[in-house]
Amino acid sequence: MSEHIVSSYEGQLKTLHSTVLKMGALCESQFSNSIIALVKKDEELIDKIIGKDERIDELEKKVDDQVVNLITLRQPMAIDLRETVSAMRIAAELERIGDLAKNIVKRVKYIKVDLNNEDFSLIKTASELVQNNLKKTLDSYSKKDEQLALSVWNSDKEIDVIINKLLEDFLSNLKKTLDSYSKKDEQLALSVWNSDKEIDVIINKLLEDFLSNMKKEKKNIESLTHLLFVAKNIERIGDHSTNICEYVYFLIKGEEIKGNRPKG
């Protein structure tokens, strides 16, 4: 892509892009820290996460201001318009991810069960999948890689067929998703969008496990109820990540992803 004749316009678009990426990086670390804090019940980390949420809100405000400025002063067209509009929508999704991460750590004090126990390994698995997903999504936004995209797209189809390899393939798949955001790689974004259903499957399995655990151990009801919300939050973060993939795809291709969103 050649540069704008007016370099300050070019600069404004680049600043916008990097503000969104900065926000994305912060949300990514808020989420992964929230899971660490959850498992370790680390109060210091919890306070830190809650404190940092304000910074995410500030960044979202900054993105909104930059977008309004661009529309007012530059009247962006075509790719620039899509870049501008997508930034605002992606920022809104990221802000929700930040809120959900904060909500996860707010529940920690009510959760008395040991999350290192094998019974709860799926929480970690799901959060890792979603973290990977988010990372690739953000990657796809900053770079462009058509070939990588294509390979991800193809590997995703096999995942559906080979149930035994489900988990391994997930992991690699989700990794690629987050890549797609920072790489501006729409095919990668597309594959993540598809892989979100795998996360849904795991979350559903989690819910079943929790319910049967509750029936056995009544004293765990409070802990497990909160843990259910944690699981639900993780699943929601996966959904927001998938939404971002849709915007990345739109930003690059100028059209919506075709078909219905895959559901587990």
Partner 1 sequence: MKNQKIKISTKNLNVFYGAKQALFDVNLELEEKKVTALIGPSGCGKSTYIRCLNRMNDVIDICKVEGSIKIDGQEINKKDVDVNLLREKVGMVFQKPNPFPKSIYDNIAYGPRIHGLADNKDDLDRIVESSLKKAALWDEVKDRLNQPGTGLSGGQQQRLCIARTISINPEVILMDEPCSALDPIATAKIEELIDELKKTYTIVIVTHSMSQAARVSQNTGFFHLGKILEFNLTEKIFKNPDNKLTQDYITGRFG
CA-nearest of 103, 93, 98 to 38 is 103
When asked if residue 158 is in the footprint of partner 1 (CB under 8 A), the reply is no
* 258 three-class SS: coil
Q: Which is nearer to partner 1, 4 or 62 (CB)?
A: 4
Nearer to partner 1, 85 or 166 (CB): 85
Among the listed ranges 2-10, 113-121, 208-216, 224-232, the one in contact with partner 1 (CB under 8 A) is: 2-10
Segment near partner 1 (CB under 8 A); pick from 69-77, 87-95, 163-171, 215-223:
69-77
Binding part of the chain for partner 1, among 4-12, 29-37, 131-139, 188-196 by CB under 8 A, reads 4-12
Helices (H) and strands (E) in the chain, counts: 8, 0
What are the b/e assignments for 211-225, b being 16+ CB within 10 Å?
eebbeeeeebeebbe
By the 8 A CB rule, do 203 and 231 touch? yes
Dist. CA 248–CA 242, nearest whole Å: 10
Contact (CB, 8 A) for 244 and 136:
no
Q: What token pair was written down for 199?
A: 């996360």
CB of 80 to partner 1, least distance (A): 5
| DSSP label of 257 | P
Residue 20 sits at φ, ψ, to 5 deg, of: -65, -40
Determine if 76 is a binding residue for partner 1 (CB under 8 A).
yes
Stretch near partner 1 under the rule CB under 8 A, chosen from 56-64, 80-88, 151-159, 168-176:
80-88
The phi and psi torsions of 42 (rounded to 5 degrees) equal -90, 100
Q: Is 78 in the site for partner 1 (CB under 8 A)?
A: yes
Measured distance CA(219)–CA(53) in Å, rounded: 32
Q: Which residue number, 74 or 197, has a Cβ lying nearer to partner 1?
A: 74
53, 30 in Cβ contact below 8 A? yes
Contacts with partner 1: how many residues (CB under 8 A)?
Answer: 18
Single residue of 40, 48, 62, 82 touching partner 1 by CB under 8 A: 82
Q: Would you count residue 6 as binding partner 1 (CB under 8 A)? A: yes
Q: Which is nearer to partner 1, 6 or 211 (CB)?
A: 6
The amino acid that residue 6 corresponds to is V
Q: Contacting partner 1 (CB under 8 A), which of 44, 218, 255, 259?
A: 255
- We find the least distance from the C-beta atom of residue 241 to partner 1, in angstroms, to be 25
Element (H, E) at 10: helix 7-40
Can residue 4 be called a binding residue for partner 1 (CB under 8 A)? yes
Q: Is 261 in the site for partner 1 (CB under 8 A)?
A: no
d(CA 232, CA 258): 27
Cβ closest to partner 1, residue 1 vs residue 163: 1
**Judged by CB under 8 A, which of 36, 68, 79, 162 binds partner 1?**
79
Q: Residue 57: which of 99, 85, 100 has the closest Cα?
A: 99
Which residues of this protein are in contact with partner 1, per CB under 8 A?
1-6, 9, 75-82, 253-255
